[in-house]
Chain A
Amino acid sequence: MKNLRFFVVLSLVCFVCFMACGDSGKVSEMEKKAADAESKVSELEKKVAELEKAAAPIGKTLENVLAKGYIQAGVNGDLFGFGKPDEKGVWQGLDVDTARAIAAAVFGDAEKVKYTPLTAKTRFTALQSGEIDVLTRNCTVTLSRDTDLGLDFAQVNYYDGQGFLVPKKLGLKSAKELDGASVCVLPGTTTELNLADYFRANGMKMNPVVIENTAELAKTFFAGRCDCLTSDASQLAGTRAVAPNPQDYIILPEIISKEPLAPAVRHGDNQWKDIVNWSVLAMIEAEELGITSENVDDMLKSEDPKIMRFLGVTEGNGKALGLDEKWAYNIVKQVGNYGEVFERNVGVNTPLGIERGLNALWTKGGLMYSPDFK
């Protein structure tokens, strides 16, 4: 028996040696082949790039949009105040109004928009594949999305951040006192990551209670299954309003993440990006200039050169963008200035009840700031 085992081991060793020797002889040959293959691949890649350039739809979004007569906008669909159909199936929300503003700029008619509701997972593909022309879906600007995903972000239309909702009876004053808490959170979004980051950074422990659906998340929290609920600050006030006794809950002062939400377009189409960008800026500038959807017709008679340029009384801006000179007038007339849009969709008189905060004009302590329209 021993002999047999020895023999087997020996033959195995021999076999391995033999294989190794055989290989080493072939290595140089293989390398050559690999190099050949690589050069072929790079050649092919070049060809593909050329072909892509030839067929490039890039830079043609405006042409396409004008040809088909409407803008296809990707929106959320489930986010009250940002993108959601009302009980008549009519789309409402801040992001929806942003898309309407772009349509007003391009066509002079804010209703020439078709909406594609998108999930967090389908939104970027829809933009990349050309299914939609612009993505106005409470989408956080990040470096990797801007670069890797081939997107371009326009002007931020809402500055959000992540916060905590806690029951008053816990007597908490700060999120730093949440060590060991069980936290209700939605899965699969940046919210979950930010939460983990925040607790790790502060050396605290937590116990996440992950629930798929916003309505169920709120219910679970109010039923007392977890100590606190975390979500975007824009949603916390609305969630609090759903509580059986809203006054029993408070929103902690800490905002643990930066979530600048901006419309996105495909990378490389500069003219289209300019149009989207300046459509958002036009709403902000209109608020700063004091132009509203109600007084915009009177403002046409204004002698202020800034206002005259803005509304296209003094021509130039429209031509520069490749649009009608009345483009900004149409936005304000049909959609409103940023303040109006904000108050209508998410402001203090809506169920969300959000204060302007970071989204106030820069002149009022916020971050909404528009370059000059000249």
Chain B
Amino acid sequence: MAGTDIKPIKEVIKPPATSVGALGWMRANLFNNWFNSVLTLFTLYTLSKIVPAFIRWAFIDSQWLSTGEACKGADGACWSIIPANIRFIIFGFFPYESQWRPLVAMVLLIGLLFYSRNRDHWKKSLTYAWGAGLIIMGLLMKGGILGLAAVESTQWGGLPLTLLLSVFGLAAAYPLGVVLALGRASRMKAIKVLCIVYIEMIRGVPLITLLFMSSIVFPLFLPEGVTVNVILRAQVAIIMFTAAYIAEVVRGGLQGMAKGQYEAAESLGLNYYQTMRLVILPQALRIVIPPTVSQLISALKDTSLVVIIALYDLLKTTQSVLSNPTWMAFSSEAYIFVALIYFGCCYFMSSYSRRLEKELDRGF
């Protein structure tokens, strides 16, 4: 008999401090070999040089609500350029007193977009909501009745114009692109050739060329005195351009479909229209969500090219403010502001696409 009580070991031996917690994580991820250690140190050094200086410039030494003259003496950023010119940057030439109208229209549009994000809301009522919303937005922008002063489309500018060009450009380009892709995959020769010619022609030229064609060459063909709204011309050019690219993306999805899918649909007695709508497109379009969205995002950013035909979109109104000698020196601040707006729009799209992918994921 040992007579001695074996005391249970109560204390649990902890792993060494260097392999758990923050230290452990750093060791495993940042300093796990000499190359990564060097990279980590180098990155830290670079950040330590850049970040404090940026924070000092952007937040500590910066001016927020001063005049342009006061900014000249300051070391930091001159954010004052934004509040001083915000209404022109956002609304362009829209009459000063009526600028609440594009504001309401934009809020309505963004609200509808956010509401439509949730697929549970996709009912018939949403279609009506969009219909009503679009009519109200049109009325707000155009005016002319109900006591609203008429505003010509030449006076539209800034963010409403950017949103108009991109939202309607993308909304129209997507279905057109799908139709073109189906046309290109069609068994009917004439349609196939037409679609190929269209897609290759449009893809063969840069968007700038199309915009120039629409604003410089096109008017020369019209009889004198007849002019087509310049925004409409740019909008059509953007739609035509984006559709060609979307078509190729969608075609990739169509080619990714197994032949068995077509055959199965046929053996069920579905006609072409039913096959496409019920079997092929739902699968094909789901596969190509990521490239489609990146195409749409780049199309959104491409709308800023309309500056070359003197449309005052968001970027152009900003540049116009910068041509004033009072503010000319503060282009970085203005461009950062515009970049944030563009980032917001693009992030909205990419986060939505990720969500859509997850919702539609069938696990195969």
Contact = CB atoms under 8 A, between A and B. Distances in A.
Nearest to B72: A244
A280 interface: no
A49 to B, nearest CB: 15
A11 interface: no
A298 interface: no
B201 interface: no
B328 A215 contact: yes
A351 B68 CA distance: 11
Contacts of B309: 119, 122
Given A85-B93, A88-B96, A129-B220, A214 B324 contact: no
Interface stretch (B121-129, B171-179, B265-273, B314-322): B314-322
B310 A77 contact: yes
A84 interface: yes
B329 A242 contact: yes
B328 A242 contact: yes
Contacts of B87: 87-89
A57 B222 CA distance: 13
A109 B87 CA distance: 27
A80 B324 contact: yes
A125 B219 contact: yes
A124 to B, nearest CB: 9
A326 interface: no
Scoring A128, A129, A130, A241 by chain B CB atoms within 10 A of each residue's CB, the highest score goes to A129
Interface stretch (B1-9, B135-143, B223-231, B239-247): B223-231
Contacts of A89: 87-88, 91-96, 155, 157
Contacts of A242: 325, 328-329
A119 B307 CA distance: 9
- Which of B88, B223, B312, B325 gathers the greatest number of chain A CB atoms within 10 Å? B325
Interface string A208-221: 00000111101100
B323 A87 contact: no
Given A78-B320, A216-B331, A352 B325 contact: yes
B219 A215 contact: no
A61 B326 CA distance: 38
B88 A85 contact: yes
B84 A87 contact: yes
B104 to A, nearest CB: 18
A116 B154 contact: yes
Nearest to A350: B325
Contact of A84 (B222, B323, B329): B323
Instruction: Tell me the dominant secondary structure on chain B's binding face.
Output: helix
Given A78-B319, A84-B324, A351-B325, A117 B219 contact: no
A108 to B, nearest CB: 22
Contacts of A80: 323-325
Interface string B272-315: 00000000000000000000000000000000000011101000
B328 A214 contact: yes
Contact of A122 (B310, B323, B331): B310
Contacts of A128: 220
A255 B310 CA distance: 30
A239 interface: yes
A87 B85 contact: yes
Given A77-B310, A238-B325, A351-B324, A215 B216 contact: no
A114 interface: yes
Contacts of A126: 219
Contact of B227 (A57, A131, A239): A131
A19 interface: no
Contact of A130 (B155, B224, B310): B224
B225 A64 contact: yes
Q: Which of B84, B94, B96, B323 has the most CB of A within 10 A?
A: B323
Given A64-B225, A214-B328, A242-B329, A125 B310 contact: no
B166 interface: no
Interface in A196-241: 213-216, 218-219, 238-239, 241
B215 interface: yes
A125 B321 contact: no
A219 B223 CA distance: 45
A121 interface: yes
B63 to A, nearest CB: 15
Contacts of A55: 223-224
A351 B322 CA distance: 13
Nearest to A78: B323
B225 A215 contact: no
Contacts of A300: none
B88 A57 contact: no
Nearest to B219: A129
A88 B88 contact: yes
A79 interface: yes
A125 B216 contact: yes
Interface string B203-239: 0000000001001100110111101000000000000
A37 B324 CA distance: 57
A231 to B, nearest CB: 12
A299 interface: no
Contacts of B223: 55
Contacts of B152: 114
Given A89-B88, A89-B91, A89-B94, A57 B323 contact: no
A219 to B, nearest CB: 7
Interface string A163-181: 0000000000000000000
Interface string A238-274: 1101101000000000000000000000000000000
Interface in A11-38: none
B219 A351 contact: no
B326 A351 contact: yes
Interface of A: 55, 57, 64, 77-80, 84-90, 114, 116-119, 121-122, 125-126, 128-131, 213-216, 218-219, 238-239, 241-242, 244, 351-352
15 contacts: A77-B320, A78-B323, A84-B324, A87-B85, A89-B91, A89-B96, A89-B155, A118-B310, A122-B215, A122-B310, A130-B224, A219-B329, A238-B325, A242-B329, A351-B324
Given A130-B224, A214-B328, A242-B325, 19 more contacts: A55-B224, A57-B225, A77-B310, A78-B320, A79-B323, A80-B324, A87-B88, A87-B321, A89-B88, A89-B157, A90-B96, A114-B154, A125-B215, A129-B220, A215-B323, A216-B331, A218-B329, A241-B325, A242-B328
Interface of B: 72, 84-85, 87-88, 91-96, 152, 154-155, 157, 212, 215-216, 219-220, 222-225, 227, 308-310, 312, 319-326, 328-329, 331
Query: What 4 A-B pairs are tightest by C-beta distance, nearest first?
Result: A129-B219, A351-B325, A215-B322, A130-B224
